Structures are given as structure tokens and as C-alpha cells.
Amino acid sequence: MTIQIVTAGRKDVDDFFKLSDVFTAAKLTHTPLLVFIAIEDAVQVRLLDHARDLLSLPDETPVMGQWRGTMRSDFFQFTVGQYRVYAEATLAPLKSATQVVKVVGPQGGVKRLNFEYIDEQGIHVSTSVIGKAEIERLTLFFYAEGIPVTVELSR
């Protein structure tokens, strides 16, 4: 038996991906992503509180996300595949990263991740990232790309 999952919501997801905090938040506490998975003769709805968890699902998986506005909320419908294309495109410039330094405190806690890269316009960018989840995600990305990560003790 084939189950068709039909979601309702806006389909103009470019700004939703780029401008909303949904894909950069450490945890989506008030507006989790809704993922619809067909299992036999039923549809399972999963709530995800981290956008990165979408990447473990098949590309055709339907998703609904909410972007809180000032006067109302908009709901967007997309697939994991659409998000995967966006996520890979945002990481592409970071393949040019150099001088990647993970700064840790005296007790071993991660403080920040510093690195340089060339952006889409060819501009040299020097940046620092804070937030344990984002630092871990980027560190794993750099390791996967063969980019060395130096660990330095904070002063």
C-alpha cells in the first residue's frame, strides 16, 4: 500500500532557510520541525528540535517548519532533500577554511572555534563561532574535509 502525505504551507523556502533562526538555533524549543514518515499503513509525525537531524532522513521525507513572525506565524513545507541542498551549499565555502583553532578552557570545555575562509564573493573572512553544538558540527565537517583543527588552551 502506498501512502501519499500531503502537507499544507508556504513553499517559498529560500528565505525560510536563509533568514529564519530555525536552521541556526541550538535547539528548537517552541517551534520544532514536523517530519512525516510513512510506516506501513500509517503516518508517523516526529518532532525534531535540531535541524541537523533532518540530514539523517531520506531526501523525499516531507517536513513542515514554522517561522515565527511579529504578527503571525508562517508554516513552510519542504522535503529533507531541499534542506540538504541548502545545508551543503552553506558549507561549501568552508571547504577553503584555514587556520582552524578550537579554543578550550583550563578544564577542557570548548570556548570557541576560530577560522578563516574565502566566501562566495571571494572575500577573505576571519570568524569565530561559539556554541557547543555548532562548534562540534563544524569541527566534524573540517575533519571530514581533511582540514586540520588545532586545539589551543585559552589564556
The owner of cell 532533500 is 81
Residue 2 lies inside a defined structural domain of this protein: no
Residues 83 and 107 grouped into a single domain: no
Residues 72 and 49 grouped into a single domain: yes
Q: Which domain holds residue 31?
A: 13-89
Strand partners, 103: 112, 152
In the prediction, which pLDDT does 6 show?
Answer: 80
Residues 46 and 111 grouped into a single domain: no
CB atoms within 10 A of CB 85: 13
Residues 56, 95: Cα–Cα separation, whole Å: 21
Which pLDDT band holds residue 5 (cuts at 50, 70, 90)?
Answer: confident
Q: What mean pLDDT is predicted for residues 28-45?
A: 89
Q: In the predicted model, is pLDDT for residue 4 greater than 80? A: no
Tally of helices (H runs) and strands (E runs) in the chain: 3, 8
In the prediction, which pLDDT does 19 show?
Answer: 85
83 close to 72: Cβ distance less than 8 angstroms: no
Residue 7 lies inside a defined structural domain of this protein: no
Residues 27 and 74 grouped into a single domain: yes
Residue 4 lies inside a defined structural domain of this protein: no
Residue 33 lies inside a defined structural domain of this protein: yes
| pLDDT above 90: percentage of residues in the chain | 52
Residues 139 and 104 grouped into a single domain: yes
Enter the pTM of the model. 0.74
Name the H helices within 5-131: 13-19, 80-91
Residue 117 lies inside a defined structural domain of this protein: yes
Count of the separate structural domains present in the chain: 2
Residues 48 and 105 grouped into a single domain: no
